[in-house]
Structure 1
């Protein structure tokens, strides 16, 4: 059914709601997302929204996912479709396939080049803007009457636009006048600004339904990254609230739920938004909690009064001390695929206690880029497939023209002289300061570090630096480090692991050409971050295995391409960045003795320590 018809026919006393998902990177993630969507469909959403990767990069997975939700679950689906940088004829093919699968709703977007590319050679010249796609569908005898068309709007302004608000509103009206039936907004956190923007939209004569984009904050890291990529303005009071709890994933998640509830309640009272579009990041529990707290699902909200009354900084009494000596990993067990002797398959409804909560939350705390590749949320650095780097950051990195310049850039980040690198979108974390001298030594070698963590043996989950997840628990970490280095260095590392590793060290290395080396068994999985919490199964939030490493490797080398694309062809900067991309290797090294905080570094530096 067309979304505008459903909105018009609704007798709901509150705005309707829909859930956005992106196609997972892995087959296991795709299968688990289908199960997740089926559970959320029980909440009776207006529709399921499925994203489309830049340049059609997720075409098959997007169509498969949209087709399943539409045909298998009978839930109306909104398929995103970009029009620029698409191969000739792809737009018609996608619309035809969508029509065959019963999909009636399209979100028409301009789109971006695929990551690491400035443009595609085969570009359909008919489509330069979303307006062109709207006009094409509306003028086509094959598609005009079948599709209900939505378009995007940006209450905080488009991250790549230099236009003022009036000019952007004029473009929005052009899209509506071309035949768009409804508007979906980019996520926002400044409600006052949104309400003023919506008033201007209506004053412009735009009367179609507006669906407001809401993204409950999941973790501080993902929040910081996405607001930067999307150019989202965040009120200072929200940033002030998050600052003291940014290290505590559970408190951040709770705050995100409460903030989303407050935002939606204001929209319900003070605007005519027709529906709420939840950016789920392929997670489910926060969205479910928001709807329960709003009392929109018919299901009583657990701890409703507790969550609404909570404020950041409440005192939590620590748990009694427990014996953690039984967590020691021996060299023989470290080589097993079941690290720590724990089951590595995430809990499901069948495997757990029959609770929705169990299947809904096993991947609730994705810690760093190495989450569980079976998770639907795995690899969500940018779920819309856009560029990983913004121009303002490039300017702050200077103009690297040599390997020495690059080494200095990474050192400047370690010394807090610059707040970001292409691989680290935030300043150096307090956790990294614990191993700063080791990271400096590696970087001075020309081994540019892009990820690391210290070994941790049972620190309180409430610890301000190392803690994560629910309070009253304990967290553990194996030391690991990631860096870029030359092939000769890879050969030396391989020899050292064979001669000195003694079963305690696992490693991967890969390059731009697709080569991969290492000593992890084909089905081996290294849980390098895990938490033990009262009344819960052990949570393994950072798991490094071949599939997750290869996925990260692909993204890491595309970042070098993205960075190089900011400089003109033939320039010294572009040549050095592309040379690094083509010749260097990405390395990930884990030491399993987490009870010795110096074990990894003693192994790497040998007699130098």
Structure 2
């Protein structure tokens, strides 16, 4: 059913909400996301949305996921669709495929180029901006009756806009006038600004439903990264609230739920907002808690029926029951087949209490979570202001050293300043970087430190956290050969590594046994099983390797073809190796560094 029709038919006195998901990067994550959606569907969203990667980079997976939720589960699905940097004819191909799958809702976006591509290449000259896609669908005799089309809006302003707010609102009105049926906004946290913006667009004659984008804060690091990426205004009171708890993931998550509830209540009361769009990042627990706090769970239409092969409904976990049983024994829990391997079953709903990003469990639906709206993550202002014009390997070394010494706030691989945790091993990171082994990830060894520790603590209070020493860096192939010999001769079974380059597709060098998985961060908390938040194994390394080398491509794309900067960065991408090393002796804080610096290479 079209979302516009569902909104029109919905009781105006009752709220509604939609959930946003992205296609996971791994097959296992994809399978487990379907189970996650089945649990969240018991909260009865009016629809769900599926994102579309930059330049159509997730086309097949986005279509597959949308087909499952719409066709097999009968859950009305909104598919994001970008129009720039896509091959000629791809928009038509996708629209036909979407229509054949019974999907009637499209969110039309301009979109970003995929990593490593030039900016804004109108590969199909019919589509340069979102308004072109809206106009094409709405005016087409072939598609106009088949689709309900929504568009995005930016209450805090678009990050790349060089125009004033009035001009941006004019662009928004042009999209609405072209035929869009509703608006979904970018995430925001300044309710006063949103209400002012909403009144302004209404005064300009924009009357279609506006659905605010709500993202409960998951971790402090992800909050900082996403608000910077999206150009989101953060009220001073939120910054002040987060400052004393930023090191405690559980308190940050609790605050994120409380803040989302407060925002929604104000938007309902002061703005008359009826519907809300939850950006889930493929996580479930915070959204569930928000809706249950509001007493909305299960009160609105929209059901998701499990396909026959998944078994009868009594085998499904509801969101509430999943929370209630999070600390139960394996014997007392029933889940759908394929949710997770034995020993992880009772973590199905709470798998991502502490989002794991690229270092987490590759079976998690949230593994390697991507940025909103298919964004690239590197801005031109950062390239010019912080990284300037590197023309030699030494220039690159100075950029990485500048980040270590807080002279440069970010690198393309580190979107925030160096953490307090990294400062614990700063001399070692500096020594590696001066070798031209540019570090992009690391952690010190930690043996049973309080979970409330302000530097390395995480999770609920009253627990203890552990870490194995870990470092990740780019180096030349000859250095990789030295490292391999050192592991073989001096590792004594304590050292595992993965190494890969740009040219090897789906392959890497490693001494980790096939199927081996290294938990390098874990915690022990009252009333819970041991929590493993950082896991390094082949699948996750390969996924990150591809992304890491695409960052070199993207960085290079900011410089003109044939320039010294581009030649340098593309040469690094083509020739360097990404190396990940773990030392398993977490009781010796110097073990990893002694191995790296004092080994016999002869």
The two structures have a TM-score, normalised by structure 2, of 0.90
Counterpart position of 1:67: 67
Aligned partner of 1:496 among 486, 493, 507: 486
Query: What's the CA shift for 1:447?
Result: 0.5
Q: In 2 relative to 1, CA 350–46 (structure 1 residues): closer, same or farther, beyond 3 Å?
A: farther
1:272-351 matches, cutoff 5 A: 272-297=272-297
1:373-392 matches, cutoff 5 A: 373-392=362-381
C-alpha distance after superposition, 1:550-569 (max 9, x if no partner): 11111111111111111111
Query: What's the CA shift for 1:456?
Result: 0.7
C-alpha distance after superposition, 1:359-403 (max 9, x if no partner): 211222134530110010011142543212112221222221111
1:347–1:362 contact (8 Å) kept in structure 2:
no
1:187-198 matches, cutoff 5 A: 187-198=187-198
* 2:208 paired with 1:208: yes
Q: In 2 relative to 1, CA 359–490 (structure 1 residues): closer, same or farther, beyond 3 Å?
A: same
Distance in 1 (alpha carbons) for counterparts of 2:168 and 2:14: 29
2:35–2:339 contact (8 Å) kept in structure 1:
no
Aligned partner of 2:394 among 400, 404, 409: 404
Counterpart position of 1:470: 460
Query: What's the CA shift for 1:269?
Result: 0.3
Aligned partner of 2:518 among 481, 506, 526: 526
Distance in 1 (alpha carbons) for counterparts of 2:111 and 2:219: 26
Counterpart position of 1:569: 561
1:388–1:559 contact (8 Å) kept in structure 2:
no
Query: What's the CA shift for 1:352?
Result: 7.8
Which is worse superposed, 43-52 or 219-228?
A: 219-228
Q: In 2 relative to 1, CA 456–368 (structure 1 residues): closer, same or farther, beyond 3 Å?
A: farther
Distance in 1 (alpha carbons) for counterparts of 2:35 and 2:67: 15
Counterpart position of 2:359: 370
Query: What's the CA shift for 1:298?
Result: 5.3
Counterpart position of 2:404: 414
Query: What's the CA shift for 1:354?
Result: 8.9
* RMSD of aligned Cα (Å): 2.0
Q: Match of 1:270, SS?
A: helix
Distance in 1 (alpha carbons) for counterparts of 2:151 and 2:450: 47
Query: What's the CA shift for 1:274?
Result: 3.2
Aligned partner of 1:454 among 444, 463, 473: 444
Distance in 2 (alpha carbons) for counterparts of 1:133 and 1:352: 47
Distance in 2 (alpha carbons) for counterparts of 1:559 and 1:352: 36
Counterpart position of 1:595: 587
Q: In 2 relative to 1, CA 217–236 (structure 1 residues): closer, same or farther, beyond 3 Å?
A: same
* 2:495 paired with 1:505: yes
Q: Match of 2:439, SS?
A: strand
C-alpha distance after superposition, 1:506-531 (max 9, x if no partner): 00111111252111122111110111
Q: Match of 1:369, SS?
A: helix
Distance in 2 (alpha carbons) for counterparts of 1:447 and 1:354: 40
1:468–1:475 contact (8 Å) kept in structure 2:
yes
Distance in 1 (alpha carbons) for counterparts of 2:233 and 2:163: 16
Counterpart position of 1:341: none
Counterpart position of 1:305: none
Which is worse superposed, 383-392 or 483-492?
A: 383-392
Query: What's the CA shift for 1:142?
Result: 1.7
Query: What's the CA shift for 1:409?
Result: 1.0
Q: Match of 1:570, SS?
A: coil
Q: Match of 1:225, SS?
A: helix
1:289–1:301 contact (8 Å) kept in structure 2:
no
Distance in 2 (alpha carbons) for counterparts of 1:170 and 1:122: 22
1:213–1:279 contact (8 Å) kept in structure 2:
yes
Which is worse superposed, 205-214 or 513-522?
A: 513-522
In structure 1, runs of 5+ residues without a counterpart are 303-345
C-alpha distance after superposition, 1:445-493 (max 9, x if no partner): 1111110000111111111111111111111110000001000000000
1:362–1:539 contact (8 Å) kept in structure 2:
no
Distance in 2 (alpha carbons) for counterparts of 1:59 and 1:167: 32
Query: What's the CA shift for 1:348?
Result: 5.5
Query: What's the CA shift for 1:218?
Result: 0.5
* 2:437 paired with 1:442: no
Distance in 2 (alpha carbons) for counterparts of 1:513 and 1:348: 34
2:357–2:369 contact (8 Å) kept in structure 1:
no
1:363–1:372 contact (8 Å) kept in structure 2:
no
Q: In 2 relative to 1, CA 265–58 (structure 1 residues): closer, same or farther, beyond 3 Å?
A: same
Query: What's the CA shift for 1:353?
Result: 11
Q: In 2 relative to 1, CA 525–485 (structure 1 residues): closer, same or farther, beyond 3 Å?
A: same
Distance in 1 (alpha carbons) for counterparts of 2:341 and 2:39: 14
Counterpart position of 1:324: none
Distance in 2 (alpha carbons) for counterparts of 1:408 and 1:537: 44
Query: What's the CA shift for 1:301?
Result: 11
- How many equivalent residue pairs? 563
Distance in 1 (alpha carbons) for counterparts of 2:354 and 2:457: 12
2:31–2:338 contact (8 Å) kept in structure 1:
no
The two structures have a TM-score, normalised by structure 1, of 0.89
2:451–2:457 contact (8 Å) kept in structure 1:
yes
Counterpart position of 2:161: 161
Distance in 1 (alpha carbons) for counterparts of 2:253 and 2:14: 24
C-alpha distance after superposition, 1:225-281 (max 9, x if no partner): 111111111112111211121111111111111110000000000113331000000
Q: Match of 2:4, SS?
A: helix
Distance in 2 (alpha carbons) for counterparts of 1:296 and 1:373: 32
Distance in 1 (alpha carbons) for counterparts of 2:556 and 2:243: 33
Q: In 2 relative to 1, CA 121–202 (structure 1 residues): closer, same or farther, beyond 3 Å?
A: closer
